[in-house]
Structure 1
Amino acid sequence: MAIDLFSKLDLNLIRIFLVLYQEKNMRKASNRLFIAQPAISKNLKKLRDHFNDDLFVKTPTGLKATEYGEQLAISLTPIVEQLSDTVNNSVIFDPAALTGVLKIAVSPIFATFMSSELFNAIHNKAPNVQLQLVNWSKISVDELKNNDVLLGIQHEMQDLSSELTGTELFIDSPYLYMRRDNFFSSPTVELTKKVDLNIATILDSDWNNSVSYFEKFSASQGQKVNVVFRSEFPSAVIETVANSDIAFPCTAIAHKYLGSDFKRSLITMSGKCFEVPVYSYYHIRNKNNRTVHWLNDVIKEIINRI
């Protein structure tokens, strides 16, 4: 007769096991669970005794799951997620009941042009939460994987980690922006033709790291773009463009905020509007998280208004 490991198992230990698996670090697991490290160690010993396996071994950076621990985590994760969804969905979701911190990583491009709208929309419906907007940076993917950040807003990313998933928020149609009295007067900028302008670009991790999408797609059409200025600060790019004859490619929603001092030309490729998807990204464990779904709906509403 097979040994019944389930009937005598404290289900609280399963949550501790999965958080240890996700964090690969005792201290991080302790912080996330609000349980002291000695208690984590004690519970890990219970798990090891119960399953007759080490489950984790120490490494220079933390913990690594054993082969059995890996298989156990992979099997348990969807079951626990389904259980969590079932329990959470039994209660009517009300954003006004949310408390604590909502931490969102936002591409600096979108943070510049939609932060106030995002705050007002969230604060009006969830007045008891503290909204933290942080710049999307080179560590944002890791923060999403570790659940240090709940949601991220960024252009479509290639080679997305298997631990993350995304929801398309909208299709952006970028423009080339320049000061109102710039000599350039065409209503469109065709990527298959040489662009007779000096260009500034905004550095944006996982999107415009060192070579902008404008350069990449121009190069794919055999055209070279003369980039003379790059900055990770959108305000620096905007101020520089406002006081020179250079131009910068940017989201369509920037037009509302840049005002009458700037004009813009639609970026096209082979006569068609150039389109770039924008996504919200989050850990796969949050794919059914109703707060995440609500935030996605809020962002979509803001974009529709803009």
Structure 2
Amino acid sequence: MNNNLYQQLDLNLLRTFLILYEELNMRRAAERLFISQPAVSQALKKLRYHFNNELFVKVSAGLEATAFADELKADIYPHLSGLESVINKNIELDLQSLNQTLEIALSPVVMACLSGSLYKAITKQAPNAKLVLTAWSNSTLEDIRKGKTLLGVNYDLKHPKELYSKRLVQLEGRAIVRQGHPLAAQTVTLAELAKYDIASMIIPGWNDNFVWLQKVMEEKGLTSRVGFRSEIMMALIDVVLHTNMFLPHSNLFPQEFYPNLRVLKIEQSQLIYNESIQSLYHIKNRNNPVQLWLSQLIKKVLEEQLLANKD
């Protein structure tokens, strides 16, 4: 009699187990696996029989993992992730034949600046790929962890241990105002900016509950007021165009597309801007040729935009 549970198990069932563990929902697991719900139910039945454990129990919100399932997930995940990484590492990337969907989540600061140029660069090299650019949200890190989103581009955020963050470019702080704004100089001080209300960009997961520049000003003994906040860049730009508010941004801002706006430098002796743009992806994809190609391409597009904005 063969008592080796490993030899008796279809390894595809372990992948189903991991997806089900992450989703705790039969329908969502079936969608991620591209199979029917009855097929997921059948796989779970086999897993329960094999491990002699329920693995998941029904609760009002969906499913809940048993203690055995928690331990099983912790034990097998590193091994399956490592196996996937090794297999992907040996895949030769043929961009002309690449026809998969590439879902990339962009923070507002990147979405407004690079959507068009990024689309052009990606489709030029991989014409058969389907590009999906989504706005960064509070669920994006979880979507990357679960494999729904391949790659994210944002500031360096606190993220789950399963994700890896890699620096792409370093940014410098700028203030965006309308043409004809009372601030006429090309370089301004924080004290001069503090006289005007802030139109603050909300970057989910980074500054949901605070305004970074306002905190900097307070630390320097300056009082400032936030006049408007939004995740939508066009709403912020529209407000700036019709008021004396200013928009804190960076040297990534594509002024050539907005002739009615001006980009002001902030005296560097007063403002140390240490933010960088990062690519965030699942650690299992660290050797994935598609992910590596995308990260390098996004870095190149970002660098070209910064160079174009250089005085």
TM-score (norm 1): 0.89
The amino acid that maps onto 2:82 is: Q
Q: Tell me the equivalent position of 1:53.
A: 53
Corresponding position: 1:10 with 2:14: no
Cα contact 1:182–1:245 (8 A) shared by 2: yes
Note closer, same or farther for the CA distance 1:84–1:59 as it changes in structure 2 (3 Å cut). Answer: same
Cα contact 1:266–1:273 (8 A) shared by 2: no
Deviation per residue, 1:247-297 (Å, 9 max, x gap)? 111121114434543322223564464231222223333333322221111
Deviates more, 1:250-259 or 1:102-111: 250-259
Corresponding position: 1:201 with 2:200: yes
Cα contact 1:193–1:223 (8 A) shared by 2: no
Q: CA deviation at 1:191?
A: 4.5
SS, match of residue 27 in structure 1: helix
Q: CA deviation at 1:92?
A: 0.9
Cα contact 1:164–1:282 (8 A) shared by 2: yes
Give the Cα separation in 2 of the matches to 1:194 and 1:133: 34
Q: Tell me the equivalent position of 2:114.
A: 114
Cα contact 2:82–2:284 (8 A) shared by 1: no
Q: CA deviation at 1:111?
A: 0.9
SS, match of residue 7 in structure 1: helix
Q: Tell me the equivalent position of 2:89.
A: 89
Q: How does 1:64-75 map to 2 (within 5 A)?
A: 64-75=64-75
Corresponding position: 1:293 with 2:292: yes
Q: Tell me the equivalent position of 1:244.
A: 243
The amino acid that maps onto 2:84 is: S
Deviates more, 1:226-235 or 1:102-111: 226-235
Give the Cα separation in 1 of the matches to 2:28 and 2:62: 10
> What number of residue pairs does the alignment pair up?
305
Q: Tell me the equivalent position of 2:76.
A: 76
Q: Tell me the equivalent position of 1:125.
A: 125
SS, match of residue 237 in structure 2: helix
SS, match of residue 177 in structure 2: strand
The amino acid that maps onto 1:300 is: K
Q: Tell me the equivalent position of 2:308.
A: none
Note closer, same or farther for the CA distance 1:3–1:219 as it changes in structure 2 (3 Å cut). Answer: farther
Note closer, same or farther for the CA distance 1:258–1:197 as it changes in structure 2 (3 Å cut). Answer: farther
The amino acid that maps onto 1:246 is: M
Q: Tell me the equivalent position of 2:303.
A: 304
Deviates more, 1:161-170 or 1:41-50: 161-170
Q: CA deviation at 1:118?
A: 0.6
Q: How does 1:92-103 map to 2 (within 5 A)?
A: 92-103=92-103
Percent identity, aligned pairs only, is 33
The amino acid that maps onto 2:274 is: E
Cα contact 2:255–2:263 (8 A) shared by 1: no
Deviates more, 1:237-246 or 1:173-182: 237-246
Deviation per residue, 1:36-91 (Å, 9 max, x gap)? 11221112121122122222222222222222222221121121122222222222
Give the Cα separation in 2 of the matches to 1:277 and 1:268: 19
Q: How does 1:208-223 map to 2 (within 5 A)?
A: 208-223=207-222
Deviation per residue, 1:210-241 (Å, 9 max, x gap)? 43221122223332222222233211222332
- Unaligned 5+ runs, structure 1: none
SS, match of residue 6 in structure 1: helix
Deviates more, 1:6-15 or 1:59-68: 59-68
Deviates more, 1:258-267 or 1:176-185: 258-267
The amino acid that maps onto 2:133 is: L
Deviation per residue, 1:91-110 (Å, 9 max, x gap)? 21223222132111211222
Q: How does 1:167-186 map to 2 (within 5 A)?
A: 167-186=166-185
Cα contact 1:192–1:269 (8 A) shared by 2: no
Q: Tell me the equivalent position of 1:263.
A: 262
Cα contact 2:89–2:288 (8 A) shared by 1: no
Cα contact 1:136–1:205 (8 A) shared by 2: yes
Deviates more, 1:8-17 or 1:138-147: 138-147
Cα contact 2:190–2:270 (8 A) shared by 1: no
